[in-house]
Chain A
Amino acid sequence: MNLGGGQVVNKQSMMPSSSSASWKSTTGGGVSGGGGGGGDGGVPDQFPAGLRVLVVDDDPTCLKILEKMLRNCNYEVTKCNRAEVALSHLRENKNGFDVVISDVHMPDMDGFKLLEHIGIEMDLPVIMMSADDSKSVVMKGVTHGACDYLIKPVRIEALRNIWQHVVRKRKHEWKEFEPSASADEQKPPEEPDYSSSANEGHNWKNTKRRKDEDDEADERDDSSSLKKPRVVWSVELHQQFVAAVNQLGIDKAVPKKILELMNVPGLTRENVASHLQKYRLYLRRLSGSQHPGGLSTGFMGSPEAGYGSISSLNGLDLQALAASGQLGQLPPQSLATLQAAALGRSNNSKSPISVPVIDQRNIFSFENPKRYTEVQSQHLTNNNNTNKQMNLLPGIPTNMEPKQFVSLHQSGQHSFGSMNNQVLIQMGGQNQNQNQNQSQSHGHGHGQGQGQGQSIPNAIPHHGMRQQPVLSSEMLTRGGVVDLATTTVYNPVVSQASSLVDFSMNHKTDSSGNSYPLGGSLGISNITSSSSTLQGDGSLDSKVSRRGIVPSYDIFNDLNQNGYRDWGLQDVGLTFDQSPPVLLQHSRSSGQEMGGQNRNLTTTGTHRNGSNIGQPRNTYVGENSLRVKAESFNDGSSHNNLYPEQYGQDDLLAAILKQQQQQESVGQPENEFGFDGYALDNLPV
């Protein structure tokens, strides 16, 4: 595996000897130490020495101690006592840091919010710290995508090993790239259907093994291609991305086409793919997160308050809607309102549902919202300007304010997965609506989406997928982080629908109508859908049990193959809200990597990490979540499937690639994935 340390020989005497040895052997030069492309540590050859750490804590005593400890570990330390300052450091120098350590309780900004921001914008691994060791807080860290959680007082031993999080993230990024390189070497174990988790796991493992084998070879041979410079998803870029996705329709948004639409020189398909993945995850997360008050965290520290309250509103509304179980009964307006509410964006209330969807796109665009939740929220919130039509103006971020995103993100993040699931479920039922969705080219999805959303209650039974409790209300409530942990709805059928939902979140403007409709009415549900997308991916989903691993599958597929199809769907699965990674799950895998996992983040998305990806927040989310999951999932989050995902990723990729090869237009498969995303985000809060 490419540890990113390049072929360096670990000379660090400070580093634990064992780690040194491993570094040496593993680094195949993928990540060149010379601070090459991925913004690796300053001295890659001596990794982890020179690891660039940013420490944020309002307590000067702790800050001083941490700084000294980190210096003693031979890391490069930058300290901040305010979150805003830290963020500006990070923004000014996007590749200037490898890992961030932040306190939870800070006066100017909540540590979790910062975590989300970082996950979305920069997709860096973030480690949380606090004197509070209560389970709920630690869980919160996990769900927001933190890579790790340290209890104060922090000992130096705990800090010595933080480099592992950097490596892990990079590894995931590379993995994403790998697919293209090793596509032809894909093992054929994976099967097209993702319903069986076993397969997924198997596939993942295979893929992983294969990957590992190939890693070194690839790295050495093609380190330049493997190690792509991290792409920074600026707001504009993200907007363009979102616009492209919307134009294509979330269901049909494949990296290749997106790339073509965006027409950005220097951007590779992998970059887009990983970003898409994250975006999807983000969207999924947004739909899934339903904490009524969850939004408050706000992506950018935006008016959380707004969210919280609104989300609760939405939740209720959604519930009502869901309860009605009527397809398409939901008046667009109401949906839009709900969405808007969910997002906490007051201005959106008026816009039609479709608008929300569009907003999502905006969300992404505005700051690399890696976190899908953010994207979602923003998306919804931005309703205001975008046209109702799904087709958001390309790259035009509807007024998404970063704040919006943030808040959305936050709230969405958590429950994103769950929300998505919910939506998916609903969507699932709608499979029948698929046609509708498909036909909807433009934001008319509302009608359809609505129907879909409506049918949620029905949907669930349809698919027999893991039944996710119809948290419709929950999910819909974007505001709150919906911890749908329980909803791992895996509705393959739904996938269609889910994809819509998911997409809508992702912002597919006209994604087969499905996405939008969801977006519209489901604007909120989108969030869920995004998460659900994960679920949608049958195969993946099953694997990830809740997480909707499936989506991740998609991502991989896309990664592996150039012709991915619906990216949108795919990434959903991966980014669980929980991904801590921020990762948070945070780090969009620098755009280049498909996995976007690196980036996040969480979020990280699971923060983590997002440049303009306005749309597929879900994707990001997925990516991040994958990553995050692997790392920090161990927690009680409902899905512990993270690990399996980890392994599965490779397999998934293989599987996905295979699939793609087999099928060309994968609107459907992707949907599946997308839906599964719900499952992923079921983290119980």
Chain B
Amino acid sequence: MDRCHMLRDIANTRKSFFDQGYLDEQFIQLEELQDNSNPNFVEEVVTLFYRDSARFLYNLDQALEKRPLDFNKLDSLMHQFKGSSSSIGAKKVKIECTNFRAYCNAQNAEGCKRTYQHVKREYTCLKKKLEAYFQDLRQVGPIEMACRPR
């Protein structure tokens, strides 16, 4: 029963991700790719994303320190980051990335910096949520996959 509760909780958590707009349809695509040959595919991808995207954030931090701001470079960096985020379905992160790029195009330094903070915030928030989520999944065990509601 405990397991059932856990499963239910996990399912609810997952649902909240979508309802609250943290994740979008793309995440479901990843889930659908998961199968017996790749039982932890989603977690692997998300982990890879967070590992790889750290460098984007590092570069963006650096670029935002420069004076004057190189908007082209910022835009280019953020474009890649956005692409990466969208591939795992990180919806809110993607939205903030779009905002950031809009400010870049408008050459609005303040707007860029402000939006960048939003990006980082959403990024970190989602990371925590997903980490907890996958941890729960692992606890529940593989069987969970079969009965996890989609």
**Taking beta carbons and an 8 Å cutoff, which residues of A are in contact with B?**
58-62, 64-65, 68-69, 72, 105, 130-132, 152-156
Contact = CB atoms under 8 A, between A and B. Distances in A.
Contacts of A69: 29, 33
A62 B83 contact: yes
24 contacts: A59-B80, A60-B48, A61-B48, A61-B49, A61-B53, A62-B84, A62-B87, A64-B44, A64-B45, A65-B45, A68-B38, A68-B41, A69-B29, A69-B33, A72-B33, A72-B35, A105-B76, A130-B83, A131-B79, A131-B86, A153-B87, A154-B87, A155-B29, A156-B32
Contacts of B48: 60-61, 64
Given A59-B52, A60-B48, A60-B52, A65 B33 contact: yes
B80 A61 contact: no
Contact of A156 (B29, B52, B82, B87): B29
A61 B87 CA distance: 7
A153 B29 contact: yes
Interface residues of B, number: 24
A539 B57 CA distance: 57
B89 A153 contact: yes
Interface string B23-34: 000100110110
Interface in B86-119: 86-89
B52 A153 contact: no
Given A68-B38, A156-B32, A105 B86 contact: no
B87 A59 contact: yes
A105 B79 CA distance: 9
* Interface-central residue, A69, A131, A132, by most chain B CB under 10 Å: A131
* Interface-central residue, A59, A69, A105, A154, by most chain B CB under 10 Å: A59
Contacts of A59: 52, 80, 83-84, 87
Interface in B31-64: 32-33, 35, 38, 41, 44-45, 48-49, 52-53
A105 B76 CA distance: 9
A155 B86 CA distance: 11
Given A131-B83, A152-B87, A156-B32, A61 B52 contact: yes
A61 B84 contact: yes
Given A59-B52, A60-B48, A105 B80 contact: yes
A104 to B, nearest CB: 10
A155 B33 CA distance: 11
Nearest to B97: A131
B33 A61 contact: no
A158 to B, nearest CB: 11
Contacts of A65: 30, 33, 45, 87-88
Contacts of A154: 87
B90 to A, nearest CB: 10
A153 B83 CA distance: 7
A153 B97 CA distance: 15
The 4 closest A-B pairs by CB, nearest first: A131-B83, A61-B49, A153-B26, A153-B86
A23 B49 CA distance: 38
Given A61-B84, A72-B35, A155-B26, 19 more contacts: A59-B80, A59-B84, A59-B87, A60-B48, A61-B48, A61-B88, A62-B87, A64-B44, A65-B30, A65-B33, A65-B45, A65-B88, A105-B79, A130-B83, A131-B86, A152-B87, A153-B26, A153-B83, A155-B29
Contacts of A152: 83, 86-87
Contacts of B80: 58-59, 105
Contacts of B86: 131, 152-153
Nearest to B35: A72
